[in-house]
A = this chain, B = another copy of it.
Amino acid sequence: MTDDLPNPALLPAGLADLLPPEAEREAALVEAMMAVFAAHGYERVKPPLLEFEDSLLAGSGAAVAEQTFRLMDPVSQRMMGLRADTTPQVARIAATRLGREARPLRLCYAGQVLRVRGTQLAPERQLPQAGVELIGGAAPAADAEVATVAVEALAVIGVTEVSLDVTLPTMVPALLEAAGATSPLRQRLARALDRKDSAAVAALVQDQGGVLAVLPGLMAAAGPADGALAALEEAALPPAARAIAENAAAVLAAIRASAPGLRITLDPVEFRGFRYHTGVAFTLYGPGMSGELARGGRYLSQNEEPATGMTLYPDAVLRAAPATEPKPRLFLPLGADGAAFRAQGFATVAALAPEDTPQRLRCTHELKDGAAVPVMSKD
């Protein structure tokens, strides 16, 4: 039967209702992850859903400008945007309301973001986000902390088999810069790297020699972090690229120290989709086919403050997390008091009329001689 499927005429594409028991599970796992952030000293902020577009689209917000719903504010006659990402708002708070707090500032948030259009792979236009931002600290230990705190938040809700993909979005630009590559060559290389076309990359750098000769080797080294780090160590890198490699090695060493069992991969030449990152960038993948659970990395916050953070996607986390047992539902006959049973962990469901029965109210338990006993099937 299809009648239980959402009627596409009811809700706009990419906007959906979360029903029982998923809505409860999502809320519970968001708060469990936020509790992990709080335990590591991240303090919660709650920016509004709507704000002026010029502050919303500043800095890292420029990356989601095309995805931002815009509205005229009837009060100020200025344009507002519905946030498509929370990081730019946290950057604004850090720079203004909390501008005089000592650094580093550790902030966390949970809420909804909205997007003008979904994609074929990700049709959702409303997405929950929960994340951490560490603002005003440039140490590799800061990047390692946001990554391992995200891993711990997932572990707390039972998502343990995760894999951390690390990329260095500034590496390829640094190599191209050092090689003095022409704009057409840059574009061709970017396209070839983007397609992971190693033959094309090799052909393009063959005539160049010098700095770019490292590219095919770095491309081939993408994979488990230890191998990729060794390849970076051995490669003949110009100074800016060497600094990027050394920073990556320091971040990974710090992650290893606090999460020794974590599966980590490193792709030194990947740079897609990390439009505002200025250092390491992270993607956390869940077990099996559950996909991306979080993204993050180093960026510049407002006023050029160094910052790093991770955003978790609770909708994806919900799909990856083990199912939880809902509370047993205890039927309360007309006038019965359920306080003692609620204290024991039951959800009590009170009869309000004679036709209310345990079966009708989907109860798992009923009262017999003052005790909660499982409801017998009527078949």
Contact = CB atoms under 8 A, between A and B. Distances in A.
A273 to B, nearest CB: 22
A96 B7 contact: yes
A177 interface: no
Contact of A27 (B11, B44, B82): B44
A12 B348 contact: no
A362 B106 contact: no
A17 B97 contact: yes
A337 B145 CA distance: 12
A199 interface: no
Contacts of A6: 97
A98 B12 contact: no
Contact of A347 (B4, B38, B73, B137): B38
A74 B27 CA distance: 29
Contacts of A165: none
A101 B19 CA distance: 12
A203 interface: no
Interface string A97-136: 1111110101101111010110000000110000000000
B27 A353 contact: no
Interface string A143-185: 0010000000000000000000000000000000000000000
A30 to B, nearest CB: 9
A257 B141 CA distance: 59
A303 interface: no
B38 A97 contact: no
Contacts of A335: 257
Contact of A117 (B50, B51, B74, B126): B74
Contacts of A38: 24, 327, 347
A142 interface: yes
A1 B101 contact: yes
Nearest to A98: B1
Contact of A50 (B39, B126, B338): B126
A23 interface: yes
Interface in A254-269: 257-258
B352 A97 contact: no
A23 to B, nearest CB: 4
A195 interface: no
Contacts of A337: 258
A20 interface: yes
A276 interface: no
A46 B74 contact: no
Given A38-B327, A40-B342, A114 B50 contact: yes
A191 interface: no
A14 B360 CA distance: 45
A194 interface: no
A348 B257 CA distance: 17
Contacts of A327: 38-39
In the A-B complex, the 4 residue pairs with the closest CB atoms: A41-B349, A20-B43, A18-B46, A15-B48
A338 B152 CA distance: 13
B2 A98 contact: yes
Given A43-B20, A44-B20, A104 B34 contact: no
Nearest to A327: B38
A292 interface: no
Given A47-B17, A82-B82, A97-B6, A12 B352 contact: no
A83 B145 CA distance: 37
Nearest to A354: B139
A327 B15 CA distance: 37
A321 B335 CA distance: 31
